[in-house]
C-alpha cells in the first residue's frame, strides 16, 4: 500500500502543484519574516530555492518567538529539511505530534500549511553550476 501511494504521489506531481506550493511558501515566508529566508526577497524570488530557510538566523530567532510563531516556523522548516525540523521541534515547548505542532496556530497559518501539504512534492537539492 505504501509503495502504491508513493507512486501515485509521484504521478500527481505537476507544475501546477509546484506553483501552488511556491505561492503558499511565499505567504508563509512573508508571515514569519523574510529576514529568515533567502538569498532573495519574496518579491525577487522566482523559485522556492530563492527562499530557503537560513539556519543561522532561524536558530537565533526561534527563542524570541511566541509559541504559535515557533510552531509555524518549525513546520515551515520541516518542508525544507525534515531532519532539521525535528531538531527544532525538540527546542520548543509543544506536544511533539502533528496536532501538537499546529495547536496554537491561527487560521492563516493553518491555511498556509494545508496548502503546502496539499502541494508538497519534496524539496529538490539546488542545482550546482559545475
* 50 vs 65: CA distance, rounded Å: 24
Residue 69 lies in a domain: yes
pLDDT string in tens for the chain (130-residue length): 455 555 555 556 688 899 999 999 999 999 999 999 999 999 999 999 999 999 999 988 887 877 788 889 999 999 999 999 999 988 887 766 667 667 788 999 999 999 999 999 888 775 544 3
Nearest residue to 19 (alpha-carbon basis) of 116, 124, 125, 130: 116
Spatial distance between the Cα atoms of 103 and 87, rounded to a whole number of angstroms: 19
The answer to whether residue 74 sits within a structural domain is yes
Q: CA 123, CA 89: separation in Å to the nearest integer?
A: 19
Domain count, the chain: 1
**88 found inside a domain:** yes
Q: How far apart are CA 113 and CA 107, in angstroms?
A: 10
Q: Is residue 124 assigned to a domain?
A: no
On whether residue 126 sits in a domain, the answer given is no
Q: How far apart are CA 1 and CA 114, in angstroms?
A: 24
Structural domain including 61 reads 2-119
Cell numbers 520548543: residue: 92
pTM score, two decimals?
0.82
Amino acid at each position: 500500500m505504501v509503495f502504491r501511494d508513493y507512486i501515485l504521489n509521484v504521478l500527481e506531481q505537476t507544475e501546477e502543484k509546484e506553483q501552488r506550493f511556491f505561492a503558499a511558501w511565499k505567504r508563509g515566508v512573508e508571515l514569519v519574516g523574510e529576514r529568515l529566508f533567502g538569498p532573495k526577497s519574496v518579491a525577487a524570488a522566482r523559485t522556492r530555492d530563492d527562499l530557503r530557510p537560513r539556519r543561522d538566523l532561524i536558530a537565533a530567532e526561534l527563542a524570541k518567538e511566541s509559541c504559535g510563531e515557533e510552531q509555524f516556523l518549525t513546520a515551515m522548516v520541516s518542508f525544507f529539511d525534515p531532519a532539521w525540523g525535528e531538531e527544532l521541534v525538540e527546542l520548543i515547548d509543544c506536544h511533539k505530534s502533528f496536532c501538537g505542532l499546529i495547536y496554537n496556530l491561527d487560521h492563516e497559518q493553518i491555511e498556509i500549511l494545508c496548502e503546502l501539504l496539499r502541494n508538497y512534492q519534496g524539496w529538490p537539492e539546488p542545482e550546482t553550476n559545475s
